[in-house]
Amino acid sequence: MNLIIHHWDSDGICSASLIAKYLLKNKFSNSTLPIGEYKFDERIRELIMKSKAVYLADLNVPHEVERINKRTLFFDHHIQPEIKNKLVEQINPSINGRNYPSCAMVVSEYLNAWDLETLLGTLGDIGKTAFRIPEMQEIMRRVGISKAHVLNLVELIDSNHISGNREGVENAVRVLIEKDWKDMLEYEPWLRQKDKIECEVERVLSMVERNGKSAFLQFESNFNIISRVARVLVWGMGFEKALVINRDFNGKAQLYCRVSRELAMKRDIMDLIPKLKSFGIAGGKEEVVGCIFHPEKIDQVIQVVKSYMEGLP
Ligand SMILES: [Mn+2]
């Protein structure tokens, strides 16, 4: 069997669907990684062992790809080193310095197949700016779908990984292949999931501690909603600074810091990243910094970040 391993987000799911339809004529099985973890688990390793060929989509895991011992086609758009494994063909324009907004576009170009999935994957990664790309406008005309419906579909597709539903992510590839977009908009499991996410976001937001223009929020949830919650606090509720912590995201602690655009223009918060790297995996850009770390370090991390935030103008 041909095995597709893909990222859990809309771009990964849509890329997998394009590969399945146009390259594998729907003869495939598919799997995603444990949500939130950029490494293979036992289940993935076993599936690779049983498969004839492997297809990878939108998964920035070059260290894992180096160790695959099957013929592999590796589609991606993340900046990553050239793969040395002779069994792997790497299709990634970033190797030649070309930036692609989505893996779905890399797959579409390679297969010369531009479909609704190309649009849903691209929108998932770069948001509404995708509507400015001429190829995306052409797809919308051909499919006859509105911007609002496209946005809604992406939200439904992403509801799978946001609610931590690995099986849902994997099923979504078949849903995209088998259902027409109007039916997908009414697909019950996705609608229910989206409702649950809304409720969880509401529940969490009710616990915010206000301190002038700063928000501090601690919660426990196995939903991956931390970035969304921080956006609501700053963009929606008008806080200048937000520090959000999920104390137990499937056993790990997540931290997310966001400041308003105005504040970030005066003073970006990127120098917080090296401070957090000693605690776990950290990254970010001008106005947002995130970190994943072991829960026993929570108090220490909060102390560091709180005093950093207080020192901002
Ligand atoms: Mn992507």
Q: What is the pLDDT along the chain (313 residues), one digit of tens a residue?
A: 999 999 999 999 999 999 999 999 999 999 999 988 888 999 999 999 999 999 999 999 999 999 999 999 999 999 889 999 999 999 999 999 999 999 999 999 999 999 999 999 999 998 899 999 999 999 999 999 999 999 999 999 999 999 999 999 999 999 999 999 999 999 999 999 999 999 999 999 999 999 999 999 999 999 999 989 999 999 999 999 999 999 999 899 999 999 998 999 999 999 999 999 999 988 888 899 999 999 999 999 999 999 999 999 8
Q: How far is the CA of 232 from the centre of ligand 1 (A)?
A: 23
The per-residue pLDDT for 141 is 98
The per-residue pLDDT for 79 is 87
Q: What dotted CATH number matches 207-310? A: 3.10.310.40
233/205 Cα distance (integer angstroms): 8
Q: How many CB atoms lie within 10 A of CB 131?
A: 16
The per-residue pLDDT for 250 is 85
299/89 Cα distance (integer angstroms): 45
Helix (H) or strand (E) holding 219: strand 214-219
Neighbours of ion ligand 1 (CB under 5 A): 11, 58, 103, 125
Q: How far is the CA of 218 from the centre of ligand 1 (A)?
A: 29
The per-residue pLDDT for 199 is 97
308/272 Cα distance (integer angstroms): 8
Locate 130 and state its tokens.
Answer: 């995708």
| DSSP line for 169-204 | HHHHHHHHHHS-HHHHTT-HHHHHHHHHHHHHHHHH
4/56 Cα distance (integer angstroms): 6
Q: How far is the CA of 60 from the centre of ligand 1 (A)?
A: 9
Q: How far is the CA of 34 from the centre of ligand 1 (A)?
A: 17
Phi, psi (deg, nearest 5) at residue 225: -115, 10
Q: What dotted CATH number matches 2-192? A: 3.90.1640.30
Domain ranges of the chain: 2-192, 207-310
98/78 Cα distance (integer angstroms): 10
130/274 Cα distance (integer angstroms): 32
Angle at 29 between CA 32 and CA 19, to 5 degrees: 85
Beta partners for residue 256, in sequence order: 244, 290
182/307 Cα distance (integer angstroms): 50
Rg (CA), the chain: 20
Q: Tell which residue, 122, 149, 126, 151, has the closest CA to residue 135.
A: 122
Locate 96 and state its tokens.
Answer: 């030649």
Q: How far is the CA of 199 from the centre of ligand 1 (A)?
A: 27
The per-residue pLDDT for 165 is 95
Angle at 147 between CA 100 and CA 191, to 5 degrees: 100
Which amino acid, residue 117?
A: E
The per-residue pLDDT for 305 is 96
Contact (CB, 8 A) for 190 and 157: yes
